[in-house]
Structure 1
Amino acid sequence: MYEYKFVKISVGAFSGSPKDDYQGIIHEHARQGWKLHQIFTPPLGAGGQAVSMELIFEKEVANDYMLLYDSPPCSYYLNLNLPILELTS
């Protein structure tokens, strides 16, 4: 099973260049175990020029876990193999 993370980067309207250091973002995510899956540039601006690009990262996760929350620097997973506790009053 894989999980995916999406990072949106704005592109300058006149320069057409990314406003953030996309290479640095890719290297940082690689250090955290993410693999660059795709760079998506939707044509949304005038004349079909991209106004943003989206870096899509992929990470393999065990089937026993489900991602609950992901916001750097913390990721929370639910272990699906843990027994369910019954609450009694």
Structure 2
Amino acid sequence: MFEYKFIQIKSKGFFTFGLNQDYHQIIRDHAKLGWRFCQIVPIEWDSQGKWREVELVLERPANWEEEAAFVFNQHQD
């Protein structure tokens, strides 16, 4: 069983290309908490077909804290 997290990120603006937030850093920060990047989904476009907003999809096992504690305890002597 997995749990999912969805993070919406807007584009910088009409005349600029790119996202308003550093999605690489968002993925790295969430990876430290057990989340795994699944995909990026465009959810809003402008009239020229450019992305106005995207959604990052992250997942992790629903019981990841229990699994991490078990692995940690297995290596303690």
TM band (smaller chain): 0.7 to 0.9
Normalised to the residue count of structure 2, the TM-score between the two structures is 0.73
Q: What are the equivalent positions in structure 2 for 1:21-60 lying under 5 Å apart?
A: 21-60=22-61
- Higher-Rg structure is 1
> What are the ranges of 5 or more consecutive residues in structure 1 without an aligned counterpart?
63-89
Aligned residues: 62
| Aligned counterparts of 1:11 and 1:47: Cα–Cα separation in 2 | 14
- Which consecutive aligned stretches of 4+ in structure 1 deviate over 4 angstroms post-superposition? none
Tell me which of the two structures has the higher relative contact order, counting C-alpha pairs closer than 8 angstroms and 6 or more residues apart. 2
Across the aligned residues of Structure 1 and Structure 2, the Cα RMSD in angstroms comes to 1.2
State the SS of the aligned residue for 2:43: coil
Q: Which residue of 2 aligns with 1:3?
A: 3
> What are the ranges of 5 or more consecutive residues in structure 2 without an aligned counterpart?
64-77
